[in-house]
Chains A and B, each alone.
Chain A
């Protein structure tokens, strides 16, 4: 990693939600969404977070932007301590960290015109007068590929891809430094996806934006990110440069995730050695002791059921949380895949309930 200060720095974040309480107010069912996660985002770069449902990736993003309060941990945005910030300063800071949401059909107030929608963040922060705001809106529309007459129209008259462009315009009109992209293309068609992702990359270059890019689609994350973090049940199991994680992965779960990413190439797909996990992803209400992945892991040893592995960072910036692969550094990529496929039965049988 470069020596420069990260734009966003999170340390030891914990977040749990209580979803059911007994009559006496004691917590009955607790969702441990994020468990001891630390990460850094360098200015102008993209950190991709990939994981399936229940991995905690969306919660992590919201916690990092303080849209949801963390239970424990430290978050620094630039020089400032985000968690300790007073309300007024926090509101001003929000113009520097914005969000692009997943569902373009729900992210825009159906009663508002596009102009008013994009103006909202500018009004909240009270920067400049009406004329200045209108100019900023007029400036950003062509940058996201919308025509100037869009200002007077309502969201209903736009397609999904166009609505997402409006969401992007709203997120960028305050010229933020960090944009949290929460599954920004998952709700779009394949052909529209490519366009919107292309737009995001272009805008990143143009405005030197940092992205916190959350998605369940490894192909998309790899395409968009400089670094990738793989999450499973609230913990980061692997983190490193994008191509290293996608091809030279070192965690058995990453191997399964890569295997599950469909290759649109029939011969390659059929010739592929793939890992298909058994059982269903366990829920974050009931996180196994030790390594959260061990019940489904073919390489699990006795230690995996009792000690949660630390995320051990190598000198090259590639970190893995796995007792087995940290002990045998040769297990990466295809070699790891073969080991998993040939793997022994796990030492502890655990029925997936």
Chain B
């Protein structure tokens, strides 16, 4: 079929009985940048909970720490420049930060699948796609070469690559950007991981290819019943794919809620301003921005990190002390001291 089409449908149901152990539980995560003389904390006090089969979006602009967080979960940080200082990351109860590197190598690919941002540089140009795929398969499952190859062909078909038997012997440079991203997705899901981490999976892609890849990720997450974290700066991606959202700013989560709550009833001024900055095709709307720039690591203000740019700032409550993440109800939280007083504007008014 030459066209894929999608018409309206209800949002996928979240698993009930939240007493079930979360797939991923991050607590008090602190990540620091290794400088010449000292280590500067950038991500601080990060708590994250990913339920089974939930698709969580981690949204933030440059410098917010979202990529660092997702890499930290898979313990893929380059420890020469960035380090986890504190905290725990529990994958189905098992603390990944306490694992040895050898144990982590077994976890990556098998329990956690990762998709990176730039498909151009994430695949090894010296090996065929087949080789790279079968390597992943054979590393984690005890199958022979033929079985691995069969599975690889099957995976390529699953991710929507036409003519997989031919593609499997091609090198990355022979594939387009969208196809390379699909190959990466195939590698990520090869061993049917329980958790999928996608770090800006569509940022480097064209608009029409982006739409395809998002469809693919969404469908795979559903059929393979994976819990998924997607980091992105694009709220459109969040609206398309995610059940829940965590908004990051200057190394902290400033708000988390379901997707609809974030878009229609934001509870943090940064979220509000972010929503107002977005142009939408066919909608008359003035695009405001946020004046100024986010603070750099090591330069964080003593109180709320967004206070210098916030139009609702009041002293001294906003600037005196660090602001904790307040649980507003079971599923949402906001790091704004004034969230109860303010009525913030969402996407539909």
Partner-B contacts on A (CB < 8 A):
52-53, 159-162, 189-198, 216-220, 222-223, 243, 246-247, 256-281, 283, 296, 298, 340-341, 343, 345-346, 351-352
Contact call B281/A345, Cβ cutoff below 8 A: no
- Given A190-B277, A261-B236, A283-B176: 6 more A-B contacts, CB < 8 Å: A52-B208, A53-B206, A191-B290, A194-B277, A270-B9, A276-B4
Please measure, in the bound complex, the distance between the C-alpha atom of A166 and the C-alpha atom of B276, giving whole angstroms. 25
The answer to whether residues A276 and B239 also contact, given A191-B273, A191-B289 and a CB cut-off of 8 A, is no
Give the size category of B's interface with A.
35 or more
Q: Is B260 interfacial (CB-CB < 8 Å)? A: yes
Chain A CB within 8 A of B102 CB: no
Task: Decide if B61 is an interface residue (CB 8 Å cutoff).
Answer: yes
Given contacts A258-B281, A278-B3, contact A223 B287 (CB under 8 A): yes
Residues of B within 8 A of A275 (CB): 3, 5
**What are 7 A-to-B residue pairs whose CB atoms are below 8 Å?**
A190-B61, A217-B207, A217-B279, A262-B239, A270-B10, A280-B177, A351-B162
Checking A197, A217, A263, A351 against B239 with a beta-carbon cut-off of 8 angstroms, the contacting residue is: A263
Q: How far is the CA of A263 from the CA of B237 in the complex (A)?
A: 9
Rounded to whole angstroms, the CA-CA distance of A270 and B7 in the bound complex is 8
CB neighbours of A262 from chain B (8 A): 210, 234-237, 239-240
A256 to B210, CA, bound (A): 12
3 pairs of A and B residues whose beta carbons are closest in the complex: A262-B236, A195-B289, A194-B289
Q: Evaluate contact between B347 and A264: CB separation under 8 angstroms.
A: yes
Contact B278 A190 (CB under 8 A): yes
Q: Which residues of chain A have C-beta atoms less than 8 A from B291's C-beta?
A: 195
Q: How far apart are the CA atoms of A260 and B260 in the complex, in Å?
A: 20
Q: How far is the CB of B338 from chain A (nearest CB, A)?
A: 20
Partner of B282, one of A195, A246, A267: A246
The answer to whether A194 touches B211, judged by C-beta atoms less than 8 angstroms apart, is: no
Interface assignment of B8: CB less than 8 Å from any CB of chain A: yes
Q: Which residues B279-303 have CB closer than 8 A to chain A? A: 279-282, 287-291, 293
Chain B residues with CB below 8 A from A280, complex form = 176-179, 209
A256–B239 Cα distance when bound, in Å, is 18
B8 CB → nearest A CB, Å: 4
CB distance from B138 to the nearest CB of A (A): 29
Q: Contacts A274-B211, A278-B2, A278-B3 known; A264 to B278 CB distance under 8 Å?
A: yes
B11 within 8 A of A: yes
Given contact pairs A194-B287, A247-B282, A256-B208, A278 touches B277 in the complex (Cβ within 8 A):
no
B215 on the A face (CB < 8 A):
yes
| Closest Cβ neighbor of B243 among chain A residues | A266
